[in-house]
Homo-oligomer: A and B are copies of this chain.
Amino acid sequence: MERNSFKNISPLDHRYSMREEEFQEYTYYFSEEATIRYQLMVELAVVKALNLRGVCSGEVVEEVEKAVEEIDVEEVYREELKTRHNIRALVNVIRSKVSDRAKPYIHLSLTSYDIVDTANFLRFKEAAKKSLIPHLEELLREWLRIVEEEKETIQIGRTHGQYAEPITFGLTMAYFASRLDERINVLERAAGNLRGKIAGAVGAYNASSIFFADPDEFEKEVLAELGLKPAPLSTQIVAPEYMTDFVHVLISIFGVLANFSDDMRHLQRSEIAEVGEYFAPDQVGSSTMPHKRNPINYENVKSMWKEFMPRMITSYQDQISEHQRDLTNSASGRFIPEIAVGLLLAVNRLKRVSSRMHVNRVKMKENFNRSSDMIIAEPLYIILAAKGHPDAHEYVRKLTLKSEEEGKNLSELIKNDELLKPYLNKLDERQREILYNPEKYTGIAGKRCEEIVNRIKKERGFNE
């Protein structure tokens, strides 16, 4: 059914599907066409398994293989207008394309949800492996590149939006890289754990046990054709928790991207200006303020997270299905692909933006310098405490207040403080260096950056 896409309702189907190549990939896994394609794959897998058991011939498999390739989603929908049942329609269409000899083996002993759930879980498993994870890894590579490049770039660390202690911008990025890396691992696990079922209308293998003494073995054989394992026990549907976990991981990955985007937005504030989005020469920042350079990509990712994050509530509600199932997870389940596409849009956007991120080292140094006098409050208090000062924190806190009130540098006040002299005389060289050169007070930031980069690259084979 052709339709002008600006007549579509979902922004996923108009505004956010303008990049044609990207959208073809999403469509491959997440459109209605994909849904039907995967369902046909499961119907075929059953026939193959029947053949392996000698129930039907190789010719039947070939007939079905050919039929399945020919089928068009519109045919199925036209048939559904009559049956008002989507899987019955699918079965009718396959049957209409094979010989009478093959007909009996189509959908033999199956219930709709043997097809629907298995196809859906398979689709998400493959999409994770072939689309989500590769894109996430490309984003991770970009971030690791920045970690390496900026591992020694001094930046003032901020807590509560206030200057805290110095780090490097590499470390800032390493934190996000490390979290993303961990989430990709969790996604691999959750995707690998998606299951299928061929257990019939209520999960007792009622129908398949008419033909097989070991219908649960038959289930394994069908699913093995598709690279899936059965759930330990199904009703009409696969136990929902495998999908609940999968959606949770998608949402939690989105959370990492949202956190990253928020931070970059703030680092791009007029007053901070430590990073910038790339801006095309023709790009307009504001319809009325020609000078504006807005962090629109980071804002978009944050906004998409706000849209998709709450949908976890739908997944939690879909854990509840009455008795051997009700259908109240059906429509809601059809929207899960949107979450994956929303995430992919954000990942691809951040890949583009990260690959051209403008890191303003000069501004980072400037901001650091503004704070550097106060920074030494921490090492001073700690060194004093370690050297036996009985009340170091309180003493230093009062010095900082004095510094503010009198408008004097903290470092000056320290040098001229007679009470501190006995302690300061005991400092070793490293401690002295930190106290008088706050830019040395970055702990082991650089070393940590290297470790993170090396470990992740090695584990993921990024160097090859």
Contact = CB atoms under 8 A, between A and B. Distances in A.
A157 B286 CA distance: 14
Nearest to A31: B7
B319 A288 contact: no
A337 to B, nearest CB: 6
Given A162-B293, A265-B326, 4 more contacts: A6-B77, A91-B393, A241-B255, A263-B323
Contact of A161 (B259, B265, B311): B265
Contact of A159 (B202, B316, B410): B202
Contacts of A18: 77
A180 B329 CA distance: 20
26 contacts: A2-B3, A6-B73, A7-B27, A14-B31, A82-B282, A85-B283, A104-B387, A107-B288, A157-B235, A157-B323, A157-B324, A159-B236, A159-B294, A160-B327, A164-B286, A171-B233, A179-B239, A182-B232, A183-B241, A200-B288, A216-B444, A233-B452, A252-B316, A256-B319, A290-B377, A309-B313
A206 interface: yes
Contacts of A444: 204-205, 209, 215-216
Given A207-B288, A284-B84, A294 B327 contact: yes
Given A6-B32, A379-B206, A434-B210, A303 B330 contact: yes
Interface in A271-286: 271-272, 280, 282-286
A388 B372 CA distance: 52
Interface in A88-129: 88, 91, 100, 103-104, 107-112
A400 B335 CA distance: 35
Residue among A88, A107, A210 having the largest count of chain B Cβ atoms under 10 Å: A210
Contacts of A10: 8-10, 12-13, 335, 338
A199 to B, nearest CB: 8
Residue among A33, A85, A310, A328 having the largest count of chain B Cβ atoms under 10 Å: A328
A356 interface: no
B288 A378 contact: yes
A112 B284 CA distance: 12
A161 B268 contact: yes
A396 B434 CA distance: 48
B159 A323 contact: yes
A240 B204 CA distance: 40
Contact of A239 (B6, B110, B175, B379): B175
A244 interface: yes
In the assembly, how many copies of this chain are there? Answer: 4
A270 B324 contact: no
A350 interface: no
Nearest to A300: B331
Contact of A83 (B91, B164, B284): B284
A157 B448 contact: no
Residue among A112, A203, A205 having the largest count of chain B Cβ atoms under 10 Å: A203
Contact of A204 (B26, B84, B165, B452): B165
A201 interface: yes
A216 B282 CA distance: 33
Nearest to A371: B270
A47 to B, nearest CB: 13
A338 B13 CA distance: 12
Contact of A284 (B3, B204, B377, B397): B397
A442 B1 contact: no
A251 interface: yes
A178 B10 CA distance: 33
A333 to B, nearest CB: 8
